[in-house]
Amino acid sequence: MRPNLPWLPKRAFALTGTAVLSVGVLAACSSSSSSSTSASSSASASSSTPITIGASLSLTGDFSADGQAYEKGYELWASDVNAKGGLLGHKVVLKILNDNSSPTQVATNYTTLISADHVNLTFGPFSSLLTAPADNTVAHYGYAFVEGAGGAPSVFTSSANEADHNIFDVSLPIKDEMVPFVNYIASLPTSQRPKTAAYPMADDPFADPPVQLAQQELQALGVKTVYSKIFPEEVADYKAPADQVAATGAQIVVLGSTDVPTVSAFMQAFEQQHYTPKLFIAAAGPDQGAAFISVVGKGNAVGMMVPDGWYPGYDSASSKAVVNEYVAKYGGTASGVNADVAEAYSVGQVMAEAVAATGGTDNAKIISYLHSGVTLSSVQGPVKFDSLGENNASAAFVFQWQDGGTQFNQVLPSNSGGSVPIIATKPAWTS
């Protein structure tokens, strides 16, 4: 039995304190929201009713690095639009909620944005994993769902999208991302073509389809598969699967990754095992600019490849302007600008064109317009949607870290404008 101490006030204090603390922190972190009005210099914009655009982003949680980059991309776009007088003369106000990288929370957030906040338009979240559940809600309310990071095939073939056709992904369809890499291998003389390949994949709807397609096509070219396994994303440590890949001595490694740590862990384990693949391409990670380099180091980054539809050196006036604007606002270098920023900015551009063309924010008209076969422009290049909302006008490229890890260059397709010669054999690790 506890001694009869005057503990009640302390307990009451603790209870109250804990409740306040928990509620406060939960309110601040788990479902935090931010509104960005991106102050406009235009008098006409400030005098009219704003157009509110809602988005749920992973500002915390597993996708926080990408989610915060997306937030910057959306804000840069809103800032630019408002500086030019807004949309149809209305100032743009972003309403962004944090989903903590949770597929459950993202659906709740879009319900809040549409039914409680009454936003006029919606922008997508980060990752295919969150776009699919979010669209169940967004489609239910009849909103157009313009997004840049939900490119997995399962997103477009979801029952909600097949019924409502409301998803529009401004980025490259991911399934075909590795095709330029496969074509490069096919272009090599048989004697110089790598003989073996390994395909470790994280269990993710974004990461696996392009790697599986690459495996299928490389096998058809006679490249022997020596490792092909899918490992859980929440694996305790990547050492075991990475060591298995290293033991195969595969000449090509095609890694189905979703983030920087996965790629970094494989690189580290390969270095520990004194194994350097001839070619190393990852579905995601090396495209994260400075965030990638700061973890793996400049020297080790050399030769690392990633497929994408955009890179900071992309030869377009609007892209260069956004890169310059980003560097001026957030610092760093052009090579360090995350591709997520361009994807998010493109979402805004496509929506803006649709609003301008339809003369308002009627989502039914916007959906109809975006399905009309019109070709739109974005910082990532042309955008043209098919019946399921995939951008069929986009082109797949492969990028590679070169010049001592200081340059992130387009290398494939080799005959495409802007491509520089590929580093055909990855240099040894330099740590």
Partner 1 sequence: MAREIYQAIVDGILVGGVYALMAVGLTLIFGVLDIINIAQGIMVILGAYLSYELAARLHIDLFLGLLVTVPAMFVIGVVIQVAFIRPLRGRERTSMTLLVTYAIALITEGILYQVYGPSYRQLTASYVISSVHIFGFYLPYIYLYGFALALVLVAALYMLLYRTRFGRSVRATMQDETAARLVGIDTNRVAAITFGIGIGVTAAGGMVYGATSGGFNPNSGYDLISRLLAIIILGGLGSIGGALVASVFMLTLESLVDVWQPQWAIVVFYAALVLVLVIRPTGFFGRSAVRAQ
Question: Which of 203, 217, 362, 386 touches partner 1 (CB under 8 A)?
Answer: 203
Beta-bridge mates of residue 31: none
CB atoms < 10 A from the CB of 385, how many?
25
Q: Is 381 in the site for partner 1 (CB under 8 A)?
A: no
Please tell me the distance from the alpha carbon of residue 367 to that of residue 145, in angstroms, as a whole number. 9
Query: In the numeric block, which tokens belong to residue 196?
Result: 């073996």
Within residues 208-237, the interface with partner 1 by CB under 8 A covers 229-232, 234-237
Within residues 20-59, the interface with partner 1 by CB under 8 A covers 21-22, 25-26, 28-30, 59
- Options 36-44, 189-197, 208-216, 256-264: segment touching partner 1 (CB under 8 A): 256-264
Question: Which of 33, 37, 46, 61 touches partner 1 (CB under 8 A)?
Answer: 61
Cα dihedral 251/254/259/262 (nearest 10): -50
Asked if 205 and 227 count as a contact pair (C-beta separation under 8 A), the reply is: no
Question: Which of 11, 191, 192, 373 touches partner 1 (CB under 8 A)?
Answer: 11
- 156 to 114, 135, 160, 169, 212: CA distances (angstroms): 22, 10, 9, 9, 18
Taking the least distance from each CB to partner 1, the nearer of 62 and 362 is 62
| Binding mask of the shown chain, residues 96 to 125, with x at each position contacting partner 1 by CB under 8 A | -----x------------------------
Question: Which of 144, 149, 174, 260 touches partner 1 (CB under 8 A)?
Answer: 260
Contacting residues for 302 by C-beta, under 8 A, at least 6 apart: 401, 402, 403, 404, 405, 423, 426, 427, 430
Q: Provide the minimum distance between the beta carbon of 312 and partner 1 in the complex, in angstroms, as a whole number.
A: 17
Q: Is 320 helix (H, G, I), strand (E, B) or coil?
A: helix
DSSP letters along 386-413, please?
-TTS-BTT---EEEEEEGGGTEEEEEES
CB atoms < 10 A from the CB of 429, how many?
18
Within residues 278-297, the interface with partner 1 by CB under 8 A covers 290-291, 294-297
Question: Which of 33, 36, 219, 272 touches partner 1 (CB under 8 A)?
Answer: 272
Q: Is 425 in the site for partner 1 (CB under 8 A)?
A: no
Q: Is 393 in the site for partner 1 (CB under 8 A)?
A: no
Beta-bridge mates of residue 270: none
Taking the least distance from each CB to partner 1, the nearer of 59 and 253 is 59
Q: Provide the minimum distance between the beta carbon of 320 and partner 1 in the complex, in angstroms, as a whole number.
A: 24
Q: Provide the minimum distance between the beta carbon of 400 and partner 1 in the complex, in angstroms, as a whole number.
A: 20
Phi, psi of 371 (to 5 degrees): -90, 5
**Do β-strands 407-412 and 224-231 pair in parallel, antiparallel, or remain unpaired?**
unpaired
Taking the least distance from each CB to partner 1, the nearer of 118 and 229 is 229
Q: Provide the minimum distance between the beta carbon of 248 and partner 1 in the complex, in angstroms, as a whole number.
A: 10
Q: Is 28 helix (H, G, I), strand (E, B) or coil?
A: helix
What does the binding site for partner 1 look like in residue numbers (CB under 8 A)? 1-3, 5, 7, 10-11, 13-15, 17-18, 21-22, 25-26, 28-30, 59-62, 64-65, 67-68, 101, 203, 229-232, 234-241, 243-244, 247, 259-266, 268, 271-274, 290-291, 294-297, 429, 431
